[in-house]
Chains A and B, each alone.
Chain A
Amino acid sequence: MRLRNPGQTVTFTFDGKPVQGVPGEPVAAALLANGIRLMGRSFKYHRPRGVMTAGSEEPNALVTVGRGAAQDPNIRATVLEVSDGLEVFSQNAWPSLRHDALAVNDLLSPFLGAGFYYKTFMWPASFWEKLYEPVIRRAAGLGRLSGQASADCYEKAFAFCDLLVIGAGPAGLMAALTAGRAGVDVILADEDSAMGGRLLREVEDVDGRPAAAWVADVLAQLRALPNVRLMPRTTVTGAYDQGTYGALERVAAAGAPVECFWRIVAKRSVLCAGALERPIAFPDNDRPGIMLAGAVRAYVNRWGVAPGRSVTVFGNNDDAHRTARDLAAAGIKIAGLIDARPDVQVTADYPVFTGGSVTATAGRRGLSSITVAHQGGTRVIQTDCLAISGGWNPSVHLTCHMNGRPRWRDDIAAFVPTPDAIPGMAVAGACNGVFETAGCLREGAEVAAAIARDLGFTAEVTLPVAEARAYAIAPLWEIPGKGRKWVDFQNDVTTKDIALSAQENMRSVEHMKRYTTQGMAPDQGKSSNVLALAVLADLTGRGIPETGTTTFRPPFVPVGIAAMGAGGQGKGFAPTRLMTSHHATVAARAPMIEAGLWYRPSYFPLEGEVSWRQSCDREVGYARNAVGVCDVSTLGKIDVQGPDAAALLDFVYTNRMSTLKMGRVRYGLMLREDGFVMDDGTAARLGPDHFVITTTTAAAGQVMRHMEFASQVLRPDLDARVLSVTDHWAQFAVAGPRAQVLLNTVLDDQISNEDWPFMACGTVGIGGVTGRLFRISFSGETAFEIAVPARYGESLFRQLVAQARTLGGGPYGMEALNVLRIEKGLLTHAELHGRTTAFDLGLAGMVSAQKDCIGQAAASRPGLVDPARERLVGLRAVEEGRRLTAGAHLFAKDAKAVTANDQGYVTSACYSPTLDCYLGLAFLKNGPDRHGEVIRMVDHLRGVDTLAEVCHPVFFDPEGGRARG
C-alpha cells in the first residue's frame, strides 16, 4: 500500500505479472506497495519467504532478472531499482512460487537437520554419483545461470585519492565534507542509489531541517568541491594491503557498462558503513511479512510504502518504539508493540506489551497473526506485518578483511571494530557502535579532521545540531519454547541445528558454522552471525567473547565474475603479439597458431593441397632442396653491452663466450641455478663490448629476467647492461642450398661462402637499410638469419618470399620448422622442459669446468649425473606404417606397459619426408648406451603400440656438412 501519491510510475513484471513502481525505488518496495509479500523460497525447506531488510544484506528476497543470455540470478530485490520493462522472476521454486513442489522438504524437516547428509547416502558406493548427488544438486542452489555468455559489458578501473570515505550516512557525509573543505582529495562511496544512509530513512531533524533536506544541502556542497568525487551505487567490497580497496559500481547510465569494478588506492580511509539490524529467534519467525524494524521504517519513511495494514512491532531496544511511532504517525495501524524488557515505560495510543515475546506466528504464505506472551498473559494478535528489532550490529566487515577480530561491547550487545585493524583505516559512526545521529555526525567530522591534519591540511570541525539520545538494549536472542526458530534465513538454519551441532561437539564457532552452514549463504551471515554465536554461547555455557566469531572475508557483497574479470572475455585475456610478416602470412592463407602470446603460421597451403602434411612435406623440401623462408622474429633477442659483457655471458652460459671472436656466433646453453637447463640460443659478437643473444620464443621473458638478475644481483661488479630488443628487430631464417643465392638478390653487397662461413655474423645493407646477418642454422642446411629494424620487416619478408619462389622455394611454417629440427636432433622446449640437464641432453661437454657459471655447482649433484637418468636419444619407427607419437612411453621390447617397467618417453615426433619414416626424440634410461636396441613405444591414449629403434638423435647429415657447405 502506498502512503503517498506516487506521481510518475514505471511498469515491470514479477513472474510475468505487471507491477507498478516508482522510479528510484527498489523492486521490494514496489512489490510491498502492491501487496505482494511472497517473494521467494528458502534454500533447503522451500519455505515461503518475503523481504526482510531494505539493503544489500537481504537474505530472502533474491530474484532473477531478465531472460536468455541476459538472465541474472540471485539479485537482491532490496537493491534492484525498478525500471520500465524490467523482468523479474522468483527463483528456487517449481512449478511456481505459490505452489512449490519441494516445499515437501519442510514436512521432512525433522529428518533433514544439520549435517544429516554426512550420516547417510553411503550405500551402495556407486549410488552417490548416480542417484543421491544428482538429486541433491537439483534440489540445492538458488537461481539459475542461463548457460550462455551475456552480451553485457563490464569494466574495471583504477582510482586514487587521499581519503576514501566508505558510506554516506551521517558519519560519512560529515567526514567527506570536513575533509573536502580542508582540501583533501576525497572519494565518497556509498552502495545506495542515493546518498544519506539512515538519514533518508528516519523522521528526524538535522540542523533544524528534515534530515533528507540537510543531506541534499551537504551533497550540493560536496558536488561543488572539485577535490571531492561522489560515487553512489558503489559498494566497497574489500580492504587490501597498502590502502588498496576493491569497489563495485552498479553503473546507472544508458550505454555505459552495467558494472565497473574499481581498484581504489587511498592514503587513508574512514569506514562509515553503518550498522545492520538483527532478528530474534522465535518460532516460525520467517514468514513473509516478518521484517526487521529498521527496514519497515525505511519502506514507510523513504519510499512511502506500508509493508502491512496492521503492523506489530517486537523488540528489545528503544528502536522498536521509534518504529511504532513512525508508523503510527504515517497513519498505519499499530496492532501492538511488544517490548521484551519488563521495565520499560511507554505511553502510546496503541497496545503495548512489556516483558513480552512472540511465541508463535501463523499464516501460510504470509503472516496473519502472532501469539504474544506478556506479563499479563497470552494473546493472539491479527497482523500482516511484524517488525522485529533484536538490536544493531555495527558493520565491522571491512575491518576484518585483514584478519582483524572485532571486540565485544556488553553495553550495546554487539561487536565493534578493533582499532587499526586495517592500516590507514579509521572508523566512525554506527559501524563504530555510535547509534545516535549527533554522535555519528561528530565522529565522522572529527575523524576526518584528524586525518586531514595528518596529511598536512588545515581542517575545521563544524557540527550541525542533531538528535542525541542513548541507545538502550537488553540482549535477547532466543525465545524459549518449542518450534523452529530461524537464525540463518537464507540457509535455513534454526536454533535446533545449532543445538544439534553443540550436542555433537561441534562447539567451536567455526565447526558450528561449517556443520550447520550458518553464515555460508550469499548474505554471509550479515543478519545471522551474531545471533547464531549468541545461541551457541548460551548452549555451551560460554560468553559471547569467549565463543568468538567466524571471519568476515571479502567481498562485502557478492561480486560478479564478469565484473572482477572484466576485459578477460574472448581475446582480452592476454595481449596479442604479431610478427611483422603477420599480414602477408595471413594473406597467404596460413593457419595461425598461438606460440605464447605470438601468432605464428602453421604452414602455407598451396592450391590443391588437402592436408597439412602435404604442405608441411613440401615446405621441408624447400629447405632441403631449394630455399625456405621463415619468420623467426619471435625468438627473444637481448642486447648485451659493456666492457664486461663477455664476462657476464661467461657467467650465464655454460660455455665460454669471452673467447668468441668478433663477427662470430656461438651456440650457448643456459642453466638455472639448480643445474637444470633453462634455455638455449646463440650469442653473436658484434663488437668487443657488444653481443646480441637469442633465446627461444617461450623463454624470452624468463631469460631477460635471469640476465638482469645475474647482472644486478649476482654480479653487480660487472660493467654490462642488458636490453630486450626482441620487438626492435624483424628476423628471418633463410635456409637451404640456395639460401646464399636468395640473399644475394636482396643484399646491397654480394656475399660468398668464404666471407660468410658457418657461424659468421655481421652488418649488411639491404636496399640501403642496415641489417644484420647471422649464418646459423636450425634446419641443418646452409642457412642464414637476416635481421632488419622491425619497420622494414614486412617489406623484407615479402621480398624474400617472392625471390624464394623464383628459386623453387617459398615460405615455411612451424610444422616444417619442427620436422627440420627433429631430423637434425635440435632441441625445443619439448626437450628443454625444465627437468632435463646438459648431461641428459648429451651436452655435458658444453659445461666448461674452467669457469664458474650459473647452475654449474648444482648440476654436479649426484642425482643429476646418474647414467641411469632418462637421456636424449633418437627413435626410428621400425614397423611399416606405424607412427611414433609424442607423449608415448617407452618399455623394453617384451615388457608390459606398466609404471614399474617405464623406461622413458617421447618428446617430439614427426614424419620425415627427407628420410621417409617416422622419427622421434625421446628420453630413455641409459639412452646413449642403447643405440641400436629395439624398444616398445606405447601411447595408450592414441592407441599406438609399436616398436622403434634407438639411435643417435641426429638423423640427417650427422656430420653437419650441409650447414657448413
Chain B
Amino acid sequence: MGYSGFGIIKEGLFGQKGWKPLWRDPAPKARYDAIIIGGGGHGLATAYYLAREHGLTNIAVLEKGHIGSGNIGRNTTIVRANYFLPGNQEFYSHSLKLWEGMERELNYNVMHSQRGLINLFHSDGQRDAFVRRGNAMINQGDDAILLDRDGVRSHLPYLDFDNARFPIYGGLYHPRGGTARHDAVAWGYARGADQRGVDLIQNCEVTGIDIENGVVTGVQTTRGPIKARKVGIVTAGRSGQVAAMAGMRLPIESHVLQAFVTEGLKPVIDHVVSFGMGHFYISQSDKGGLVFGGDLDFYASYAARGNLPMKEHVMEAAMTLMPMIGKARVLRSWGGIMDMTPDGSPIIDTTPTKGLFIDCGWCYGGFKAVPASGFAFAHLMATGQPHATAAKFRLDRFRTGVGLMDEEGTGSQHNLH
C-alpha cells in the first residue's frame, strides 16, 4: 500500500488498523535465480535494484539476524559526495543523486536532509588539500564552496574561534551533503524489494557456499540448502568469513568504529561538521540528539563495542572545537564492524568463482554509498559487467597497483583509512 499524508489521516481516524506489514516473512524456497547474502543496506538495495532495474524478482536476501541489523542500523548517518579520486568521484556523485530521489522512489520517508556539510581545515596545507577536493567535486558536477574563517563563522558561530589549539582557518562547504534516518533506509529498500516479490529471509545464516567446478550452485543455511546460480556477498565486516566459505582471502581487516548520541536537545547544530585536526564529526538528529563519531579504535575487532581511549579522544575533540556542547550528555555509545581495505575504497567485483559476486570494503563510509552500491552491484550481478559508476572498484587493484583510490594517502595499512 502507498504511504501518504492522506493515509495518515485516514488511519488516524480508524485506529491504524489498515497498515499492512512492511514486508512478508516467507519461508525460503529451494531455489532462486539469485541470492544476496546479507540483509543490510547494501544487500537490500541490491535486491531492490535487481528487481526494479533488471526484472529479477525470483531472488532472496538471506539475513542472519534481522533486516538492517548491521552497520545500516548503527552509523552516524552522513550522506555526502565529496571524494576527489577517480573511481570514488563518479560513484558517490551517482549515489547522492539516487539519495535525492530516494523518498519518492521508495514511497518511504528516510528523512534525507540536505542540511550541508562543512569540513573544517586548520592550516594552509589542509586548505590546499581541501581545495583540490572541492575542485574535483565541482568538476564532477557536485557542489563545493570554500569558506574562509569568517565564512565558517557565519554558518557555525558556536565554534571556538579564539582559543582552540588548532585555529579554524576555514572550511569546505558541501551544501548538498547532509544526513538521513539510517534505519528507514533499510526499511524503505526492504519494503520496496518485498513489494516487487523479493523474499527477505531473516534469521537465516549462511553456513556454506556450494561450488561445483568453479561455478556457484547455491548456499547452505541454518534454514536448509538453497540453490542459486548467482550469489552476491554483501556482508560488510563479516565479508572475510563469508568469502572464506568460497575459499577466498580478502584484502580486508575488520575494525570497530564507535559512535555516540546525546540526550535530546532543542536545535543547536544545523549542519554536519567535521574537525580537521582530530577525527570528529557531528550532526543533530531530528529527534534532537547530537550524533557524532571519530576514528576507529584501531585494532582488529568483531566486538561491535569500543574502549575508552577513542571515546575520550572524540569528546576532547568536541571540546576543543565546540565547547558549547560540553553540557550535552552522551546517553549511548556503540560500535560497528568496518570492512577496512588497504586503500580505504570499496570493492564491487566478480570473484574467481563463476556466479559469485562480492560487494564489500566500505570501510566506514558505507552508509552514503547504499543506493549506488546496490545499483551497481545489481547491475554487475544481472549483466556480469561492472556499472560505469563502479568500474574501478576492482578486487585485483591491490595486486596490480592500478587504480588505487587512497583518499587518505596512508597506504596499505588497513586501519589508517
Which A residues lie at the B interface, using CB under 8 A? 43, 71-74, 110-113, 116-123, 125, 128-129, 133-134, 136-138, 140-150, 152, 154, 156, 238, 240-241, 244, 246, 261, 263, 401-403, 496, 500, 503-506, 508, 510-511, 514-515, 517, 521-522, 524, 553-555, 558-562, 564-574, 576, 593-595, 672-676, 678, 829-830, 833-835, 858, 861-864, 866, 885-889, 897-899, 902, 905-908, 938-942
Of B86, B188, B266, most A-chain CB atoms within 10 Å: B266
The 8 Å CB contact of A862, one of B89, B107, B111, B401, is B401
The 8 Å CB contact of A559, one of B108, B127, B330, is B330
Could you tell me the distance between the alpha carbons of A376 and B139 in the complex, rounded to whole angstroms? 80
Could you tell me the distance between the alpha carbons of A927 and B117 in the complex, rounded to whole angstroms? 34
**B304 interfacial by beta-carbon distance below 8 Å:** yes
Closest Cβ of chain B: how far from A259's Cβ, in Å?
Answer: 10
**B286 interfacial by beta-carbon distance below 8 Å:** yes
Contact check, B165 vs A902: say whether CB atoms are below 8 A apart: no
Contact check, B109 vs A120: say whether CB atoms are below 8 A apart: yes
> Which chain B positions have C-beta within 8 A of A136?
286
Could you tell me the distance between the alpha carbons of A116 and B409 in the complex, rounded to whole angstroms? 44
The 8 Å CB contact of A148, one of B122, B184, B312, B324, is B324
Closest Cβ of chain A: how far from B317's Cβ, in Å?
Answer: 7
Listed A/B pairs (16) with beta-carbon separation below 8 Å: A74-B329, A118-B181, A122-B109, A133-B115, A144-B268, A522-B329, A553-B333, A555-B332, A561-B325, A569-B163, A569-B326, A573-B316, A886-B132, A887-B130, A887-B131, A908-B128
Contact check, B330 vs A558: say whether CB atoms are below 8 A apart: yes
The 8 Å CB contact of B401, one of A594, A864, A897, A942, is A864
Closest Cβ of chain B: how far from A729's Cβ, in Å?
Answer: 25
Which of B16-24, B228-236, B360-368 lies on the face that meets chain A? Answer: B16-24
Closest to B301 in A: A241
Closest to B122 in A: A594
Mask, B191-234, CB within 8 Å of A = 1, is: 00000000000100000000000000000000000000000000
Closest to A571 in B: B165
The 8 Å CB contact of B21, one of A137, A503, A676, A866, is A503
Which 6 A-B residue pairings sit nearest by Cβ, starting from the closest? A834-B409, A887-B131, A568-B316, A141-B288, A565-B315, A863-B401
Instruction: Check A941/B312 contact, CB under 8 A, given A128-B112, A141-B266, A569-B319.
Output: no
Could you tell me the distance between the alpha carbons of A567 and B313 in the complex, rounded to whole angstroms? 10
Could you tell me the distance between the alpha carbons of A676 and B406 in the complex, rounded to whole angstroms? 11
**B400 interfacial by beta-carbon distance below 8 Å:** yes
The 8 Å CB contact of A561, one of B16, B122, B262, B278, is B262
Interface size on B, residues (CB 8 A): 125
Contact check, B305 vs A553: say whether CB atoms are below 8 A apart: yes
Instruction: Check A125/B132 contact, CB under 8 A, given A559-B330, A569-B326.
Output: no
> Which chain B positions have C-beta within 8 A of A241?
307
Closest to A65 in B: B327
Contact check, A143 vs B265: say whether CB atoms are below 8 A apart: yes
Contact check, A673 vs B412: say whether CB atoms are below 8 A apart: yes
Contact check, B146 vs A240: say whether CB atoms are below 8 A apart: no
> Which chain A positions have C-beta within 8 A of B329?
74, 522, 558-561
> Which chain A positions have C-beta within 8 A of B3?
118-120, 122
9 other A-B residue contacts (CB within 8 Å) besides A244-B308, A559-B329, A576-B165:
A74-B329, A111-B9, A120-B4, A129-B115, A154-B326, A511-B67, A560-B327, A571-B164, A674-B412
> Which chain A positions have C-beta within 8 A of B8?
111, 116, 119-120
> Which chain B positions have C-beta within 8 A of A112?
12
> Which chain B positions have C-beta within 8 A of A675?
401
Interface residues of B in 137-160 (CB under 8 A from A): 138-141, 144-146, 158, 160
Contact check, B66 vs A560: say whether CB atoms are below 8 A apart: no
Closest to A940 in B: B138
Contact check, B135 vs A939: say whether CB atoms are below 8 A apart: yes
Interface residues of B in 319-367 (CB under 8 A from A): 319-320, 323-334, 342
Instruction: Check A558/B262 contact, CB under 8 A, given A834-B406, A885-B131.
Output: yes
Contact check, A564 vs B312: say whether CB atoms are below 8 A apart: yes
Closest Cβ of chain B: how far from A820's Cβ, in Å?
Answer: 16
Contact check, B316 vs A567: say whether CB atoms are below 8 A apart: yes
**B411 interfacial by beta-carbon distance below 8 Å:** yes
Instruction: Check A898/B139 contact, CB under 8 A, given A119-B4, A145-B327, A565-B326.
Output: yes
The 8 Å CB contact of B324, one of A110, A147, A571, is A147
**B44 interfacial by beta-carbon distance below 8 Å:** no
Contact check, A137 vs B288: say whether CB atoms are below 8 A apart: yes
> Which chain B positions have C-beta within 8 A of A503?
16, 19, 21
Contact check, B308 vs A240: say whether CB atoms are below 8 A apart: yes
Contact check, B331 vs A522: say whether CB atoms are below 8 A apart: yes
**B387 interfacial by beta-carbon distance below 8 Å:** no
**B241 interfacial by beta-carbon distance below 8 Å:** no
Contact check, B320 vs A573: say whether CB atoms are below 8 A apart: yes
Could you tell me the distance between the alpha carbons of A830 and B406 in the complex, rounded to whole angstroms? 15
The 8 Å CB contact of B409, one of A146, A150, A496, A835, is A835
> Which chain A positions have C-beta within 8 A of B86?
899, 902
Contact check, A137 vs B307: say whether CB atoms are below 8 A apart: no
Of B65, B305, B329, most A-chain CB atoms within 10 Å: B329
> Which chain B positions have C-beta within 8 A of A835?
404, 406, 409
The 8 Å CB contact of B308, one of A128, A154, A246, A907, is A246
Closest Cβ of chain B: how far from A712's Cβ, in Å?
Answer: 17
Could you tell me the distance between the alpha carbons of A898 and B136 in the complex, rounded to whole angstroms? 8
**B385 interfacial by beta-carbon distance below 8 Å:** no
Contact check, A145 vs B328: say whether CB atoms are below 8 A apart: yes
Mask, B260-304, CB within 8 Å of A = 1, is: 001111111000000001100000101110000000000000011
Could you tell me the distance between the alpha carbons of A480 and B276 in the complex, rounded to whole angstroms? 56
**B403 interfacial by beta-carbon distance below 8 Å:** yes
